[in-house]
Amino acid sequence: LRTTLSFLSPKDLYTAPDSCRGRCEEPYNEEDECHCNAECERYHNCCEDYYTRCQAEGFSSSWDAITDEDLLRISEQLYKADHNKARPTDIAINPQYQASPDETGDREDRSPQPLYKYVNEELFSKPTYASFIKLLDNYQRATGREEEVTAEELREQDNFLKEVMKTELMKKLFAFLHKKNRYDSEQEFVADLKEMWFGLYSRGNGEQDSSGFEHVFSGRARTGGTGGAGQRRAGGLTPGSRLCLGEVKKGKVSGFHNWIRFYLLEKQGIVNYFSHNFDGPWDTYPEVLGLQFSWDGFYKEVGSAFIGSSPEFEFGLYTLCFIARPGRACHLSLGGYSLSIQTYTWTKSTYGNGKNYIATAYVISP
């Protein structure tokens, strides 16, 4: 890969779906809002900044673009670098009933037994797991309530980032993004991770009540009235989007895509597993499961999640896709099998010089 000597302004760190920033010569994809290769001139579907950004000397030169092939290659590298993932003997799950598409919304418990038969909790003593678990009790479940971040919680965030950055997986991710001219130093990368994942924004009525980390890994439940929630946009997300997005109707769970969080709550009897609608093709961990469940009475219709992955694996893949393909399907390869991740940006507020927080990230299951 070619070394790039130019420096970026903070707003240039992300690939925007309606811009050619970091996308010059990117292959055609029908999901894209506009396009950034030579063919777009012929078909009159170039992004507005195509002519200003797609120059050999600019940030968006072809060696800076994160191509589909790059994503397949780096995701396989991250998959192989997940040394802290669960071994086959560490977890035993009992998926039981597989729900059809017509059955996922009926709220019927078709699986009398818990999802997790066994988890080797020695996993949780590993530094990245232990620091991750400490973060899970830092958040209020309901939207619309101001989060009070203590000094101890800020230290826990810093400790989690410190531990994940010690791993080969996150070092490989940084090296990839550095070569693609997204970050100049590891320090800059870590500082941005803290803002994009832990920075607070409002999903309610102005209260700083949510963050990308809370939404994706911890989950939320909206306990108030619907108030037309189904008709409103959530930070730029369109009405009718999947239930794992930011704003949800009364009685349904928002976010909550992490297997460790699910296991700990199921063990306490707070989560009740109903069924699954998708079981991935992997014969080892990490695996992917699409599942239905209730959380203390609140329902999740489709909650896709990795099973048996390390915290840094999920954190790293979601970060990669948020930077490379925000607002679009991000197509990856894990162990020779295809997988796609969807991320969305929170557009109602920004940090730094116009950078976006993570609104949500999840595995796309059929």
Report the catalytic residues.
Answer: 215, 257, 300
Q: How far apart are CA 332 and CA 163, in angstroms?
A: 25
Omega of the bond leading into 101 within 30 degrees of 0 (cis): no
- Exposed / middle / buried, residue 152 (Cβ in 10 Å: 0-12, 13-18, 19+): exposed
Alpha carbons 16 and 171: distance in angstroms, whole number: 24
CA distances from 123 to 84, 86, 89, 118, 320 (A): 8, 7, 11, 12, 25
* CA 321/CA 333 separation, integer angstroms: 12
Tokens describing residue 154: 């800020």
CA 145/CA 78 separation, integer angstroms:
36
- Residue 191: both structure tokens together: 């500082």
3-class DSSP assignment, residue 118 = strand
